[in-house]
Chain A
Amino acid sequence: MSQNSMMAESHGSVMAESSVEKLTIPFPAEIMRVFKELERIEREAKALSARNMPSLETIEWAMEVLLRVVPSSYLLGSEINAFQAEIHVSWENGQSGKSVVAFLQKRPELKIYHEQVVNGEVVEHTVVTTEDVGDLSARLRWFFRPAAD
């Protein structure tokens, strides 16, 4: 039995009936994966003694932001990479043409890029800077929303 299904069982059948509530069930496996990715970046930064790698403060800031993504199921499919001193957390969906990238460097700032490609053309793209971590969850709601909505 997976960690997710164990978690769902522990919440009982009433919760499992509601799709909205299902989304609020934490995804421990995804959270673990995110932590492991950030640990990998930390190890690489230490091993390389690289000047232009994310600092420990940046890694902790990324952990905090990602732990505050609601629902945590939005972490599914996210990809975590270091780029210079920044951490990029990205989501891409080839079918919808949507993508979201969160850039993390200095607490309390968060930058979010989003883009949508329709028939090979970029129809929407922008970068916003925010200190409201909830803005990432809001942008991910757009990302995960079916095209018909």
Chain B
Amino acid sequence: MATTPRISSQLGERIDDDIDLYRAFAEKNFRERKTNPPHTVRYWAYLLRDEDAADGLSVVRTPKAAVKFLSRNYGYGSIRLRDITSLSNDGLHIRLDASDPEHAFVCNLPLLTISNEQRDAAMRIAKELARRSKVITCNPVSFPDKS
């Protein structure tokens, strides 16, 4: 994944406000560009990687923050916070990054690589979150710093 180093993160307080959260498409397969839009978010956008297991899956509160640490992106999408936390019996919740107020984590996502039960849950959740998300753009975006 094309990233630039970010300051190490720390789990902060839990947020429950029903706000829009954004997730960058760091990989092309995080979204599908349709000939006839709407374009769709794919399950890969919500699969937790091993290196993110300690904190959770990155989401952010502004489009600009979504792509801030990526050296390239394929656009970004959004999802309502309650569309994540309302998934039944999965215990998903959102915590702020204590070192970056724009950054947060989806906590309690299962890891694909642990067991078949975890893989099943990870796939079901990732596919459901993808269905509940919407694509804002499939095109690379950048938000130049104001100086």
A interface residues with partner B (beta carbon < 8 Å): 52, 79, 81, 83-84, 86, 88, 99, 101, 103, 111, 113, 115, 117, 120, 122, 125-129
Contacts and interface: CB of A to CB of B under 8 A. Distances in A.
Give the interface SS of chain B, mostly helix, strand, loop or mixed: helix
A129 B116 contact: yes
A62 B51 CA distance: 24
B44 interface: yes
Given A84-B113, A115-B127, A127 B50 contact: no
A125 B49 contact: no
Interface residues of B, number: 17
Given A52-B50, A81-B29, A127 B123 contact: yes
A99 B47 CA distance: 16
Classify the interface of chain A: helix, strand, loop or mixed: strand
Nearest to B123: A113
A125 B123 contact: yes
B128 interface: yes
B123 to A, nearest CB: 5
A115 B113 contact: no
A81 B105 CA distance: 25
Contacts of B90: none
A127 B119 CA distance: 7
Contacts of A122: 124, 127-128
A79 B43 CA distance: 13
A83 B127 contact: no
B119 A83 contact: no
